[in-house]
Amino acid sequence: MIKQKTFKSSISCTGVALHSGNKVSMTLLPGDPDTGIVFKRTDIIGGGAEIPATWDNVVETTMCTTLGNDDGVTVSTVEHLMAALAGSGIDNAVIELNGPEVPVMDGSAAPFVFLVECAGTVEQDKPRRYIRVLKAVTVEDGEKSASIVPADGFTVDFDINFESAAVSRQSISVGMTNETFKNEVSRARTFGFLHEVEALRAAGLAKGGSLDNAVVVSGDKVINEDGLRYVNEFVRHKVLDAVGDLYLAGGGLLGHFHGVCSGHAANNTLLRALFADKDAWCYEEMDSLKATPRKSATLWSGDVTGPAIAATA
């Protein structure tokens, strides 16, 4: 039986919120079996501070994924942390925050993977529940699309196409295992374009963005002094976002996802379409995960070592 996992001990970190620019503290705590991932706002007095991390609690998808509850309490920019929890196999956890946004850290999921490793994991005496995709589901918006089809494991394909020569056309195919996520996906940082910064900040977004937590493109050049961590870091980050958004399904997916120039909105719309069709999915508990993930294939190869990551236990 594949058992559920949670943290062995709690662990904390502090960082800047990407969009508000405020400093925020976060603590990852063990969760009880069958409770899933739950965010808790410690700055909210009284009830209504908890928000289960599920697809039907997504209330906004502009530039990030935001969760909310019936009391109007929200937590935004959850996708990188959710991706790290998915890639580390964490089923149950309580995520305490003293503000409305998860810290961006270095713009990737690697600091959160590091936190999980520092806290350690422990198996729980309950079987892990997977969501098996039974038939193809696709959502489209012009040239953007997201789809998921049946598969024995969880695999992700992604295609992007930007006018900037620094990004251009990139494609990747990843068979998602814990080590694959950590080594080939987790360190890919969020990215943006310098000419869009003023408009984003006028809209109250990206106030905490900097070269320390994002890849910034100006014209056809990456202006970060240390360059890219992967030659195709841009498309790898889109995979990271998709892994995090799709973990809001409430468990590990058994299916093959394909995103084409899509983002947070399409990822959530796809989950809503999947769960709206009762014939398209089922829950499954497995004695062993007989997945045969494909070897990661990219248009380019290469890896550039990134900065060190620190945390407090």
Mean pLDDT in residue range 237-250 = 98
Q: Name the residue with tokens 């983002």.
A: 263
pLDDT at 272 over 60: yes
Q: How many domains does the chain fold into? A: 2
Tokens in use for 204? 């109250």
Report residue 308's pLDDT band, with 50, 70 and 90 as the boundaries: very low
Domain that holds residue 37: 3-128
Structure pTM?
Answer: 0.90
pLDDT at 50 over 70: yes
Our answer to whether residue 195 is catalytic in this structure is: no
Do 105 and 236 belong to one domain?
no
Nearest in space to 284 (alpha carbons), one of 149, 153, 138, 123: 153
Confidence at residue 289, expressed as pLDDT on a 0 to 100 scale: 54
Note whether residue 258 is domain-resident: yes
Do 33 and 51 belong to one domain?
yes
Mean pLDDT in residue range 29-40 = 98
Report residue 288's pLDDT band, with 50, 70 and 90 as the boundaries: low
Give the whole-angstrom CA distance, residue 251 versus residue 130.
5
Confidence at residue 175, expressed as pLDDT on a 0 to 100 scale: 94
Report residue 93's pLDDT band, with 50, 70 and 90 as the boundaries: very high
Whole-number mean pLDDT of the chain?
A: 90
Pairing of β 37-41 and β 50-52: antiparallel
Do 45 and 119 belong to one domain?
yes
Confidence at residue 201, expressed as pLDDT on a 0 to 100 scale: 76
Q: Which residues, at least 6 apart from 47, have a Cβ–Cβ distance to it below 8 Å?
A: 71
Do 148 and 280 belong to one domain?
yes
Do 147 and 94 belong to one domain?
no
The enclosing H or E element of 50 equals strand 50-52
Note whether residue 272 is domain-resident: yes
Show contacts of 191-199: CB within 8 Å, 24+ apart: 191/167, 191/215, 191/216, 191/217, 191/233, 191/234, 191/237, 192/216, 192/217, 193/164, 193/217, 193/218, 194/218, 194/223
**Neighbour tally for 194: CB within 10 Å:** 12
pLDDT at 95 over 50: yes
Do 124 and 136 belong to one domain?
no
Do 193 and 103 belong to one domain?
no
CATH number of the domain enclosing 159: 3.30.1700.10
Note whether residue 287 is domain-resident: yes
237, 256, 258, 264: the catalytic one is 264
CATH number of the domain enclosing 20: 3.30.230.20
pLDDT at 85 over 90: yes
Do 220 and 109 belong to one domain?
no
Do 138 and 211 belong to one domain?
yes
pLDDT at 194 over 90: no
Confidence at residue 279, expressed as pLDDT on a 0 to 100 scale: 98
Percent of the chain with pLDDT over 90: 80
Q: What is the DSSP string of 73-84?
A: -EEE--HHHHHH
First to last CA, the chain: 31
Do 169 and 106 belong to one domain?
no
Do 103 and 14 belong to one domain?
yes
Distance from the Cα of residue 56 to its chain's centroid: 16
